[in-house]
Amino acid sequence: MERLQKILSAAGVCSRRKAEELIQAGRITVNGKTASLGDRADWDRDDVRLDGRALAAPAERRCLMLNKPRGYVTTLSDERGRPTVAELVADCGVRVYPVGRLDMDSQGLLLLTNDGALAHRLAHPSHGMEKEYRVTVSGRLEGCAERLSALRKLEDGSPIAPARAATLLREPGRWVLSVTIRQGLNRQVRRMCAVVGLRVHRLERVREGPLTLGDLPPGCWRPLTAAEVNALSAQP
């Protein structure tokens, strides 16, 4: 027996959080009865339906890496009509969901999966998986990597865990930094840079945990190998 949220997520219907909303709205039934939060069901014996339609059997687990270009929002749909990452992975054969977020003006490595349990684990704040960014900045350049590494609060007073920053390239008026964080606060790296007097011109995620972006072209995706999925699952 599994919780309904897990069943809905495994069937590719929605995330576990969205599943809770569907259950609370009375849109899920089990064997003809309206479900409640906390209910469990068995795929093989129970008739689970959304808005009267039977759920499809769980899809094969898929985990993808996408090189998200700038200009795409990290959602499956957008009420403002902006391009979404779902359009870039529409040919993967199953409905997958982004793990975490990467803002519209940023680019780089984004994980997507239909494995609700894995997505929930990787995105949960307690997981603290490292994310490394390559950031092109201007402004108060001298000593900026040290200031970023020493930063403990954002502009609104929100505490942040220690980050690691290093200078990769120095050009007149612009430097390229490596910034590694474990949290996933909204626009965290951009906000950190602003606090220490830097303007961000380009922000690219190049690593997430054990996975690196490599030479995957912008706008393209590839399936994770079994070894890569195992490495993600083994993250503390």
List the catalytic residues: 103
226-233 vs 116-123: helix crossing angle, rounded to 10: 50
Please give the backbone phi and psi of residue 170, each rounded to the nearest 5 degrees, phi first: -120, 120
**How many C-beta atoms surround the C-beta of residue 217 within 10 A?**
8
